[in-house]
């Protein structure tokens, strides 16, 4: 068995920037729109998506939305404001507290994931309503690590019309963020979905992004076997736990399966906009 080399997750950030701004512009224009809408939380991923959208479409064609809950840290709003200023985009702030409270009364305090999902899905209600008013498509903020691990709320933070970051691991998004000039306060703080007080991504997952990104790169990008990555130095329990997460969350990475009855079934034979000649 050949031991895999230590994976390199280094990217060319300027090349990535050019590819992703072209992607945002072409996909939005292809769909007949000129504008984009981004949920800006004060975190790393949303900062990068906002800055890329502003460069791709022009700041005047991007709406950034801040959607705090009553327990949201004040620093998150401040960090989001710093991104909005840097991008030069239009911004609006909508508190989701009044909408969330009646729903949260039905969910026990101890069920933090359920309660967090309520907040994530309410934010999407606001985001899509404002996208209709602004006349723009929703630009996603989820990175490849989150997508593979299923670390998203289905029809919550995973909902978008296009996702520029979905093929960049979290550590690669961080490299791009530095290149784009994301404020240091955002680069330095622990990643968090802001779903409950004190929540951090790595605390909830039980491992660091640096470690899991190296593992995922070997398993997914290089198609190494579990035995090979264990031989490379990863703990067997860590490898199996990550593989289990990937298997269990496949449904989050797919459109709902459609029962095939015809010769041209959406999601099977009819897949791309080019099927209509675009």
Which pLDDT belongs to residue 1? 41
Q: What tens digit of pLDDT does each residue of 112-150 get?
A: 999 999 999 999 999 999 999 999 999 999 999 999 999
64 inside domain: yes
188 inside domain: yes
Which pLDDT belongs to residue 244? 97
Quote the number of domains for the chain.
1
Q: What tens digit of pLDDT does each residue of 91-117 get?
A: 999 999 999 999 999 999 999 999 999
Confidence of residue 277 (pLDDT cuts 50, 70, 90): low
Q: What tens digit of pLDDT does each residue of 71-89 get?
A: 999 999 999 999 999 999 9
122 inside domain: yes
Which pLDDT belongs to residue 266? 86
Confidence of residue 273 (pLDDT cuts 50, 70, 90): low
62 inside domain: yes
Domain residues for 150?
13-201
> Is the model's pLDDT at 3 over the cut of 80?
no
CA pair distance 39, 20, nearest whole angstrom: 18
247 inside domain: no
Q: Measure CA 125 to chain center.
A: 17
Query: Could you count the other beta carbons within 10 Å of the beta carbon of residue 130?
Result: 18
Which pLDDT belongs to residue 251? 95
Which pLDDT belongs to residue 215? 97
Residues 6+ positions from 71 with CB-CB distance below 8 Å = 196, 197
CA pair distance 47, 55, nearest whole angstrom: 12
Confidence of residue 191 (pLDDT cuts 50, 70, 90): confident
Which pLDDT belongs to residue 204? 79
Q: What tens digit of pLDDT does each residue of 192-213 get?
A: 776 667 777 788 788 899 999 9
81 inside domain: yes
Which pLDDT belongs to residue 269? 85
Q: Mean of the pLDDT values across residues 250-258?
A: 92
User: pTM of the predicted model, to two decimals?
Assistant: 0.91
35 inside domain: yes
Q: What tens digit of pLDDT does each residue of 19-70 get?
A: 999 999 999 999 999 999 999 999 999 999 999 999 999 999 999 999 999 9
Report the CATH number that the domain containing residue 135 is assigned in CATH. Answer: 3.40.50.620
46 inside domain: yes
> Is the model's pLDDT at 157 over the cut of 90?
yes
């Amino acid at each position: 068995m050949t031991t895999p080399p230590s994976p390199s997750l280094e990217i060319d950030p300027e090349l990535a920037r050019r590819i992703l701004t072209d992607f945002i512009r072409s996909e939005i224009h292809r769909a007949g729109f000129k504008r984009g809408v981004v949920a800006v939380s004060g975190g790393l991923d949303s900062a990068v998506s906002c800055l890329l959208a502003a460069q791709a479409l022009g700041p005047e064609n991007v709406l950034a939305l801040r959607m705090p809950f009553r327990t949201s840290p004040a620093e998150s709003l401040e960090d989001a404001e710093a991104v909005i200023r840097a991008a030069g985009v239009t911004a609006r702030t909508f508190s989701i507290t009044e909408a969330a409270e009646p729903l949260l009364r039905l969910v026990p305090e101890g069920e933090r994931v359920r309660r967090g999902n309520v907040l994530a899905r309410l934010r999407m209600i606001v985001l899509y309503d404002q996208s209709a008013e602004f006349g723009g498509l929703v630009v996603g903020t989820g990175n490849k690590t989150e997508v593979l691990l299923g670390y998203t709320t289905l029809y919550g933070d995973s909902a978008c019309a296009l996702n520029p970051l979905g093929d960049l691991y979290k550590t690669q998004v961080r490299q791009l963020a530095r290149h784009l000039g994301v404020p240091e306060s955002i680069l330095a703080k622990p990643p968090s979905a802001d779903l409950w007080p004190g929540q951090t991504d790595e605390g909830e997952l039980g491992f660091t992004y640096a470690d899991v990104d190296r593992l995922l790169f070997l398993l997914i990008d290089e198609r190494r076997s579990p035995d090979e990555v264990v031989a490379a130095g990863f703990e067997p329990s860590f490898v199996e736990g990550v593989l289990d997460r990937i298997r269990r969350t496949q449904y989050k990475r797919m459109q709902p399966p459609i029962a095939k009855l015809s010769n041209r079934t959406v999601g099977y034979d009819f897949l791309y906009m080019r099927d209509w000649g675009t």
